[in-house]
Structure 1
Amino acid sequence: MPSTATPLFAEPLHVGLPNVGDRVRLMERINGALDRLWLTNNGPLVREFEARIAALTGARHCVTTCNATTGIQIAAKAAGIRAGDEVIVPSFTWVATAHALEWIGIVPVFCDVDEETGTADVAHVERLIGPNTRGILGVHVFGYPCDIEGLSALARRYGIPLLFDAAHALGCTYRGRPIGGFGSAEIFSFHATKFINTFEGGAIVTNDDELAERARAMRQQGLDAEHRVAGPGTVARMNEICAAMGLTALEAMDSLIEVNRRNHGHYEEGLAGVAGVRVRPMAPDEHANYQYVVIEIDAEVAGVHRDVVNDILLGHNVLSRRYFDPGCHLDEPYRSNTSRHAPLPLPRTEALTDRVLSLPTGPAIGPAEISGICEIIRQAVPAYGPAEALV
């Protein structure tokens, strides 16, 4: 239970507070859209935002969407995956990854992960490939890139599309190349909790010309570039106001990453030497956005379970998050619908979900707050004494 002691922080410290950027520049862009009376339907701000994301990722095409969930759905359909097909996806991810597929009748088949990276275990993915497998959906968890080479080799060998949920990975690299240009397509999220946000939004990024053309039509009620009905579609376009926010956020991207990087370093310093507690590292020799600060708590070594530490933090107004507990395979409807989702033990996923905890970061958090959070965690570990010593 949360501590009944006086909270260390008077105001809550959140994971994923929105970054607003230059408000004057944002309002200039919004007012421009209002003056043009062009608020949606592929306006100039949306096109500019798409061009900026394509350039940032080094990909030929960026197709913005109203959110990343519809982005995954459209990308899957554009890649030829249909209702009833199976797609292999790691269970260690936010449940929206699996729900995006389930909602349109595609069957998520959950694979285990590598505990160090938190991303799909390529060997397990291959063991799960069966006669109904029509795709693989990797997830760059916390910005740590998948084993893209290994998954790409599988996709080629079995002749199936490879998609990536890159919701956490804008600005990150794999072997020196920007995330975004791999596989059949990658899908970014620009939800308000992401360090680059468009209020709500997503994007499909791809080097496949035909997939991009199909995705553009699908997000616009099935209309092609000549406004002819090319097939069934939905309404999933981004509007001009969201694109204005995205462009403004991109202008602050370098400074936001630098703040996140410094915060990550402060957490590493503050928690160094605490038995059973470690800050999950970024991918070695890669560029990272440091969007998430995630710690692991080994209960056997620390002498305290992650949930107890989480409750103590909550009692001090530190709104940490247990990303991702439980794994998708233990959430509904996947846990109960065993006729559609065969139960499968995923021991490494289950071990990770029992240990990880996401901590506040971003421009709203500074060294003083991080020092206090680290002190709470240190004192929650028995070797350092009771957390009540903070009051």
Structure 2
Amino acid sequence: MQPLFAEHLHVGRPNVGDRGRFLDRINGALDRLWLANNGPLVQEFEARVAAVAQARYCVPVANATVGLQIAAKAAGIGPGDEVIVPSFTSPATPHAMEWIGAVPIFADVDTETVTLDPHHVERLITPRTKAIIGVHVFGRPCHIDELSALADQHGLILLFDAAQALGCTYHGRPIGGFGDAEIFSFHATKYLNSFEGGAIVTNDPDLAEAARAMRNLGLDEHREQTYLGINGRMTEASAAMGLTSLESMQDFIDVNRRNAMLYQDGLAGVPGVTLRRQAPGERANHQYVVIETDARDAVHDLLLEHNVLSRKYFYPGCHDIEPYRSKRARHTPLPLPRTEALCDRVLSLPTGTSIGPAEIAGICDIIRTACLPLRQRLAA
């Protein structure tokens, strides 16, 4: 069979802004001979991200995983503390907690938002619970009000993994200023990238001060050793790419929105396929186009035959991967039926500036064929 597409179409293909503007920034950094250690580009990026998130403080970091680790330690999470997290997320979320000695406790999600189910979270709270980490999955916000109420009631730290949610809103407010802190990702696969990078955003001055020192080997602004730290600093090159991406942020979102509408039209009426929707009435970045179907594996395999690299985000659930699977009784005290059902049905499709209407129409045709009964498919 001849593939429909000669070149591969990828999920998470990087968006690139104005190359001239990026190179100007790089040349400026080279002229200044200031390539790391909180240079002027990192400082400018910090201010710009804080403004987008409408948060008081932003601490740029090398990547979102180290951002989660630093934010957790700055907030007071330590070895042995139980932290409730969703299983339906990137492994980076629980791994960041396990890496600092905390104990991820996996909770189920609700089927509408595919984010943490507050009722399930409440059942998991014990005297050993220290924190809740919500994840804005596919950019759709968590049940922030309900999780905040639980955290307040039980005296818990509340963090949000906002890796996929820059530019989205909750009740009209930008993601970034909720909980004790939120963590963004600017990895190359995100719609707005800094090659590799992340940021901790918060309204808590003490948490921001601690995070700022911890990312810099524990040194405060006077270069005095005040915390146990690591090297989590963002480079000037990453900040240059991040600033250039921010200048094209709305253009990227507009393309993503157009692509989402094209997929919605192209997949209308395809039996057994549901397109995941963004939160009604909220601003969304439309970074991900995600379908649910019982024919997920057949769709994935047929797309691959035509050089379309879709992704089974997220599969398997984190509770079914190591090191958590071997210690299920510790990490997964309650069943996670909704998570397990989702993991077998979800598929993320290519979007972003690297594909257009013709490619999306072809992808929709492939999905339609994959969802036909086998007899009809062979006849076609």
**TM-score interval, normalised by the smaller of the two chains:** over 0.9
In 1: Cα distance, 2:40 partner to 2:109 partner: 41
Give the structure 2 partner of residue 85 of structure 1.
81
Q: Which of 346, 354, 360 is equivalent to 1:370?
A: 360
* Native 8 Å contact 1:379 1:387 kept in 2: no
TM-superposed deviation, 1:337: 2.2
Q: Which of 220, 227, 232 is equivalent to 2:228?
A: 232
In 2: Cα distance, 1:285 partner to 1:40 partner: 41
Query: Does 2:148 match 1:152?
Result: yes
Give ranges in structure 2 of 5+ residues lacking alignment: none
* Native 8 Å contact 1:40 1:240 kept in 2: yes
Q: Which of 236, 252, 257 is equivalent to 2:253?
A: 257
Give the structure 1 partner of residue 377 of structure 2.
386
TM-superposed deviation, 1:339: 6.0
Give the structure 2 partner of residue 310 of structure 1.
300
Query: Does 2:292 match 1:296?
Result: yes
* Native 8 Å contact 2:64 2:183 kept in 1: yes
> Alignment length, in residue pairs?
379
Secondary structure at the counterpart of residue 336 of structure 1: helix
| Residue identity matched to 1:55 | A
Q: Which of 24, 41, 58 is equivalent to 2:37?
A: 41
Secondary structure at the counterpart of residue 348 of structure 2: strand
Secondary structure at the counterpart of residue 30 of structure 2: helix
Q: Which of 47, 72, 79 is equivalent to 1:76?
A: 72
RMSD over equivalenced CA pairs, Å: 1.2
What does residue range 149-188 of structure 1 map to in structure 2 within 5 Å?
149-188=145-184
Give the structure 2 partner of residue 19 of structure 1.
15
* Native 8 Å contact 2:77 2:131 kept in 1: yes
TM-superposed deviation, 1:340: 4.0
Query: Does 2:55 match 1:65?
Result: no
Give the structure 1 partner of residue 351 of structure 2.
361
Give the structure 1 partner of residue 92 of structure 2.
96
Question: CA separation of 1:339/1:274 partners in 2, compared to 1, >3 Å: closer, same or farther?
Answer: closer
Identity of aligned residues (%): 68
In 1: Cα distance, 2:378 partner to 2:236 partner: 48
TM-superposed deviation, 1:103: 1.1
* Native 8 Å contact 2:324 2:331 kept in 1: yes
Secondary structure at the counterpart of residue 325 of structure 2: coil
Question: CA separation of 1:380/1:81 partners in 2, compared to 1, >3 Å: closer, same or farther?
Answer: same
TM-score of the superposed pair, with normalisation by structure 2: 0.98
In 2: Cα distance, 1:106 partner to 1:187 partner: 18
In 2: Cα distance, 1:107 partner to 1:383 partner: 45
Secondary structure at the counterpart of residue 182 of structure 2: strand
TM-score of the superposed pair, with normalisation by structure 1: 0.95
Give ranges in structure 1 of 5+ residues lacking alignment: 300-304
Query: Does 2:272 match 1:276?
Result: yes
* Native 8 Å contact 1:310 1:357 kept in 2: yes
Give the structure 1 partner of residue 215 of structure 2.
219
